[in-house]
Amino acid sequence: MGIRPARLAALLGLLAAPAAQAIERAVEYDFSGDFDVRTFNRDPGVGDTQSGFEQRLRLRGSLTLDDRVSLHAGVNLTNDTWRGDESAKAVEDEEPFTIGRTHRTVTFDYGYVELPFDDWTLRVGRQIANWNFDMTVSDDRRDRIMLLGPVGEDITFILGGDQRQNTTYDDRLDDGYLVFSGFVGKTAGWSWGALLGHYIGDDERAFDGSYQPGYFYTPRSGTLVSPWAQGMLGPVEITTGAHYLGGGDAIFTNNTFAGFLRGGYQVTPELLFEAQGFFNLGGSLIEPGFDSFSSLIHNSPRHDASATRIPALDLTGVGKGDRELGGIDQDFDRYLLALRGSYSPTDKWRLQLAGGWVRYDGLTRDLDEAEDVVFGDVQLSYQVTRSTRIWGSYGYAATSDLIPGVDSVDALSLNLRTEF
């Protein structure tokens, strides 16, 4: 039985009344969003070549009330593959623009309230999280309570906590938390930040006395230290970051370190030249969005995932495992050197060429084995209008024996994005 028109009108009136009152109290509000559609062809090195079309539509809004309280929210209207007449059926990849996060159609992306206390601000809710140029945290969403405020000239103090895992309400053994504090600031023209975090989780055994993988919050007892800095050194823009992750009870039980140093030199207004070095010692965590200068290696933030990332080339690890994860040993090292040039003859066109070398010192299948990978990358983009950009990319990597039986992998994509 359907809802009668009169009842539907009354229901909509009840729902609209609180929203209308909030709008009347609003000092300012903002609405934005973006639409992406892309096609791709990739050879991941495992299985057959993959190809298809994917699209996403997101909406975002913020509302500031007359008491300075503000609300911020986002929603995914669609994040899916093109399926034609089979659009209601599940396929291999149901959330192509996200990594390890479930956002398909009409799903909540983030939402939080921001409360002012003089110069300090309290944020409560699911928030967008980034840290250390996508190496430590990359476009993630965190269920978070965070307090931030000034403690000096151009210096902000941050204190917060994330609920990282809570599978069941009636069992605290699977709960996981990250508590953190840190500073961000600007000194002598340099932007910088430093973060200290600690992972908390129960390490008791399951009810039958055994340890079960995935049952406990696996990074528990681990400590994270993550500084970064960016500024000009003469004519060169320097970007650098590092992090330590270790002391864990189940994973990252060893001391792991990662870091990078990147320099950019504007040769002419049209030509930018960049170089970077990167290292990962002991199998540290490297988020998928880290910019390796290759479209195949990372460069795929958690909520803005690319279609060309090749997981077999990832630089990340989980260190040494113990307790219920004692069979895991990713105490390996990774090194990367890369160059990139960007040429923009006009404000509409941009061509990027990149190349580099990666050393995989210790493989998951054999920690005594090492392989070298050489990659090349090209990207061409065109700003069609102020709101819309089209770009294509092609990446190639000679993988040696990194992937058994595969000499090389490659991927190409053609992308369109409209922002409004």
Report the half-sphere exposure of 23 (CA within 13 A, side-chain side). Answer: 8
Of 24, 144, 122, 34, give the one whose Cα is nearest residue 70.
Answer: 122
Tell me how far apart the alpha carbons of residues 132 and 139 are, in angstroms, rounded to a whole number: 11
Which residues sit opposite 418 in a β-bridge?
Answer: 35, 388
With H, G, I as helix, E, B as strand and everything else as coil, classify residue 21: helix
Overall average pLDDT of the 47-58 stretch: 92
The H or E element that residue 98 is part of is none
Number of other CB atoms surrounding residue 155 within 10 Å:
13
Contact 368, 319 (CB under 8 A): no
pLDDT score, position 257: 98
Contact 287, 304 (CB under 8 A): no
Query: Is 10 part of a structural domain of the chain?
Result: no
pLDDT score, position 90: 56
pLDDT score, position 12: 43
Whether the predicted pLDDT of 170 surpasses 80: no
pLDDT score, position 11: 36
pLDDT score, position 106: 80
CA 231 to the chain's CA centroid? 23
pLDDT score, position 325: 75
Q: Of the given ranges (12-16, 150-154, 229-233), which has the lowest mean pLDDT?
A: 12-16
Q: pTM of the prediction?
A: 0.89
Query: Is 319 part of a structural domain of the chain?
Result: yes
Query: Is 9 part of a structural domain of the chain?
Result: no
Instruction: Tell me the residue range of the domain where 163 lies.
Output: 26-419
Query: Is 204 part of a structural domain of the chain?
Result: yes
Q: What percent of the chain has pLDDT over 70?
A: 87
Query: Within the chain, what is the greatest distance between any pair of CA atoms?
Result: 73
Q: Residue for token digits 């500031």? A: 64
Query: Is 372 part of a structural domain of the chain?
Result: yes
Burial class (CB in 10 A: 0-12, 13-18, 19+), 86: exposed
The total of structural domains in the chain comes to: 1
Overall average pLDDT of the 332-356 stretch: 98
Contact 64, 57 (CB under 8 A): no
Query: Is 307 part of a structural domain of the chain?
Result: yes
Burial class (CB in 10 A: 0-12, 13-18, 19+), 142: buried
CATH of the domain at 122: 2.40.160.100
Strand 271-281 relative to strand 256-266, pairing:
antiparallel
pLDDT digits (tens, 9 = 90+) for 73-87: 999 998 888 888 776
> What is the average pLDDT score of the chain?
90
Query: Is 228 part of a structural domain of the chain?
Result: yes
Question: How far is CA 212 from each of CA 201, 219, 249, 326, rounded to the nearest angstrom?
Answer: 14, 14, 14, 11
pLDDT score, position 25: 74
What are 251's two structure tokens?
A: 């994973």
Alpha-carbon dihedral angle through residues 398, 404, 405, 406, given to the nearest 10 degrees: -30
Query: Is 134 part of a structural domain of the chain?
Result: yes
Q: Which residues contact 386 (CB under 8 A, 6 or more apart)?
A: none
Tell me how far apart the alpha carbons of residues 8 and 14 are, in angstroms, rounded to a whole number: 10
Q: Of the given ranges (47-51, 97-101, 189-193), which has the lowest mean pLDDT?
A: 97-101
